[in-house]
Amino acid sequence: MPIPKQRHTKGRRNRRRSHHALKKINLVACLKCGSENLPHRACFNCGTYNKKEVIDVLAKLTKKEKKQKERELAAAEATGEKKRPIDMKELSK
């Protein structure tokens, strides 16, 4: 196994380690909602990029709300309450 011929100085060691420092993450504020996110990426909070909506963030919420409404309807049917059928407008509320 090879052994170093000479010891490296502290300066040489420190110069080698000078690039190991962590760099600060550059965050920018969203123009629409003001939340901080990485530059040149769509906002994870409101789904906008360059003042345009590119991701429908509310679609995920409406799916969850839709399932919740369906569970409430199933529970109401199990207890015997009768209500009129729910249309898509009521499910999206």
Q: Give the best-scoring range by mean pLDDT among 2-6, 62-66, 81-85.
A: 2-6
Average pLDDT over residues 10-23: 96
**41 touches 27 (CB < 8 A):** no
What digits encode the pLDDT tens for the residues 18-69?
999 999 999 999 888 888 999 999 988 888 899 888 887 777 777 777 788 7
Residue 52 vs residues 36, 43, 47, 49: alpha-carbon distances, Å: 17, 10, 8, 5
User: Looking at residue 8, what is its pLDDT?
Assistant: 93
